[in-house]
């Protein structure tokens, strides 16, 4: 996507223990990075998992799509930039792209779909929408 569309970014550095026997970050760890970046975003919007949970609302990931373009190696620095879009009444979709720093090489493209659930059933995201700056 065009850079101007990202609404949040988080910087990371690869830790050696995140690399596997091939000397690159293990594929599963990218999902950890993406999760951490989403949580940082939600915190920046004053959205508290614990308060939501106490209101009976949980945020749940229903789908992850990730394209691996180029591997990260030990000690690489990188940034995750994200955007957020609605899909229908229920789903929120996080676009999360990973770029190595400082050369801005595209490392991976992620698309993470989530829903709000109440008692285990999907519900419209309600006032999360305004907190998230969506319409």
Both structure tokens of 120: 């285990």
Secondary structure E strands in 3-124? 8-13, 57-68, 77-87, 91-101, 106-118, 121-123
The set of catalytic residues is 20
Instruction: Tell the smallest beta-carbon distance from residue 102 to a copy of itself (Å).
Output: 18
Nearer to a copy of itself, 5 or 75 (CB): 75
Buried b (16+ CB within 10 A) or exposed e, 54-72: eeebebeeeebebeeeebb
Both structure tokens of 94: 């996080």
Nearer to a copy of itself, 23 or 126 (CB): 23
Which spans of this chain sit near a copy of itself (rule: CB under 8 A)?
Answer: 15-17, 19-23, 26-29, 31-32, 35-36, 39, 43, 49, 58, 60-68, 74-75
Nearer to a copy of itself, 63 or 131 (CB): 63
Instruction: Tell the smallest beta-carbon distance from residue 6 to a copy of itself (Å).
Output: 21
DSSP structure class, residue 111: E
Instruction: Tell the smallest beta-carbon distance from residue 19 to a copy of itself (Å).
Output: 5
């Amino acid at each position: 996507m065009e850079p101007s569309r990202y609404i949040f970014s988080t910087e990371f550095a690869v830790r050696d223990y995140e690399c596997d026997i091939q000397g690159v970050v293990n594929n599963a760890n990218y999902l950890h990075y993406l999760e951490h970046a989403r949580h940082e975003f939600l915190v920046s919007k004053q959205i508290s998992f614990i308060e939501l949970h106490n209101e009976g609302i949980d945020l749940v990931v229903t789908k992850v799509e990730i394209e691996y373009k180029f591997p990260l190696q030990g000690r690489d620095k990188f940034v995750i930039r994200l955007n957020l879009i609605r899909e229908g009444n229920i789903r929120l979709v996080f676009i999360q792209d990973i770029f190595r720093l400082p050369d801005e090489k595209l490392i991976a493209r992620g698309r993470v779909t989530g829903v709000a659930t109440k008692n285990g059933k999907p519900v419209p995201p309600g006032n999360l929408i305004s907190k998230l700056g969506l319409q």
